[in-house]
Every structure is written in structure tokens, then in C-alpha cells.
Amino acid sequence: MAVRDIVTVPHPVLRRKAAPVKDFGPELQRLIDDMIETMRAAPGVGLAAPQVNVSQRVIVVEYEDAEAGIPHQLYAVVNPVIVDFSRATEIGTEGCLSIPGIIGDVERARKVTVKGFDRHGNPLHLTLDGWVARIFQHEIDHLNGVLFTDRAVRVERVAPELAAALDRV
Ligand code: NI
């Protein structure tokens, strides 16, 4: 495993629509391992392949919230698609590893249903709620060349250490 460089705006890969994965072979396995290591090193709670300059539809998410009773979970999802958004939305503050020093408030669906594949090509069907649903929406946006600043109702420039205190994705 290796930590890869995280690209930042205005790198063009962040604006490209990423390609679906067709081959679940060793190259994908290496990519996913490296993305997990890169996310942890950042540190962050989510990462999309375009953020390591690979224009493919792969995301990783790692999250836990002991206070809210959410156990540690690590997701690697290939070709994720949001098949259902709750009508209920929520505004929350986001930061992005590819947009240093900026945070913003984004309205997102409170719950989403995501279909996709695990790293071995087995179908996944996830029902996600709250903060983890937000992370998935942010990461899947990355696969479509969309950044949270496109959706934010308010953005703010902050010192890097303040931005780092937020869970970045
Ligand atoms: Ni991001």
C-alpha cells in the first residue's frame, strides 16, 4: 500500500466524469488499498478516486461516531449509484481534501440508498442515514466532476488547521 498525492483544485481531473470500473483485478485492489491509506493519512473520512488522479468510479468511506452509537465502518464502493434520496434534507458543514482552506454549508438528502459493487465485484445495497449519507453524496459527486462548493449555500475561507479539525472528504 502507498499513500498517493491528493490533487487539489483547479486540477482538471476533479471536473471530469469518471469512468465505470470494468476490471476487478489487481490494479483495482491496489487502487483501493492506496485510497484507504491515503484517506487515513490525510486524515479524512472519505476519498474518491479522482482525488488521487484516477478518473474511475471508486470511493472509500471510513466513519465512526461513538457518541451517536455508530460503530466503525469502512466502505469501498465501486461504480456507486444513488438510487434513492430522502425528501428530507439537512444542511451541514463540509470540507474537502481537494479544496484546502475552504469549508461550506451544503444541503443534502438526510438518507440515501446506494447501489454498487464491493472490491470483489459483489453487489452492494446500502441504506445510509445522517453524516455517512452526506459523505457518500459528497464522494459520488466527485465521480461526476461536482465539488461541494458548487452546491454550497455559503462558503468560508478558514485557516488550514481549522479546516483539518472538520471531517474532510
Ligand atoms: Ni471532497
Whole-number Å distance between alpha carbons of 8 and 76: 22
39 belongs to a structural domain: yes
Q: What's the 35 CA to ligand 1 centre distance in angstroms?
A: 13
Which grid coordinates are listed for 18? 469518471
- What is the domain count for the chain? 1
Range of the domain at 63: 12-165
Q: List, for residues 98-114, the tens digit of each pLDDT value.
A: 999 999 999 999 999 99
112 belongs to a structural domain: yes
148 belongs to a structural domain: yes
139 is a catalytic site residue = yes
Are the C-beta atoms of residues 41 and 28 closer than 8 Å to each other? no
Q: Which of 90, 107, 139, 161 is catalytic?
A: 139
142 belongs to a structural domain: yes
1 belongs to a structural domain: no
Whole-number Å distance between alpha carbons of 57 and 41: 21
Element (H, E) at 64: strand 58-65
Q: List, for residues 7-41, the tens digit of each pLDDT value.
A: 999 999 999 999 999 999 999 999 999 999 999 99
Q: What's the 72 CA to ligand 1 centre distance in angstroms?
A: 20
6 belongs to a structural domain: no
Q: What is the pTM of this model?
A: 0.95
DSSP per-residue letters across 122-146: -EEEEEEETHHHHHHHHHHHHHTT-
